[in-house]
């Protein structure tokens, strides 16, 4: 069975890739977090991120508590690449 990638990784990974979603993550974090499973610690970390946090991968890794390797995995994950933040899947 494949281990599910934590939503925190997806939020951070997509924020690195997409400037529009990064802006929303920084300006509307509570809205973006709706429906995502993140710990209290991860939520607090997201709430303290700034535009400077996304300056380099090293800076982002330090700001998020992720290793650079985990950050690379998050950025390269298909879910990070395929869906914008705050977009809900259409229900049938």
Q: What is the pLDDT of residue 19?
A: 94
Distance CA 36, CA 92 (A): 20
Q: What is the pLDDT of residue 87?
A: 64
Q: What is the pLDDT of residue 1?
A: 39
Contacts (Cβ under 8 Å, ≥6 apart) of 13:
71, 73, 74, 75, 76, 77, 80
The H or E element that residue 19 is part of is helix 19-27
pLDDT at residue 20 is higher than 80: yes
pLDDT at residue 80 is higher than 90: no
Alpha helices in 51-91 (DSSP H): 57-64, 68-76, 78-82
Mean pLDDT of 60-77: 93
pTM above 0.75, yes or no: yes
């Amino acid at each position: 069975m494949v281990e599910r990638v934590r939503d925190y990784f997806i939020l951070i990974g997509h924020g690195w890739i997409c400037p529009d979603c990064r802006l929303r993550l920084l300006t509307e974090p509570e809205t973006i977090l709706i429906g995502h499973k993140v710990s209290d610690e991860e939520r607090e970390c997201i709430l303290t991120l700034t535009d400077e946090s996304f300056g380099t991968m090293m800076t982002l890794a330090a700001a998020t508590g992720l290793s650079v390797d985990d950050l690379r995995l998050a950025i390269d994950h298909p879910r990070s690449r395929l869906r914008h933040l705050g977009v809900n899947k259409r229900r049938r």
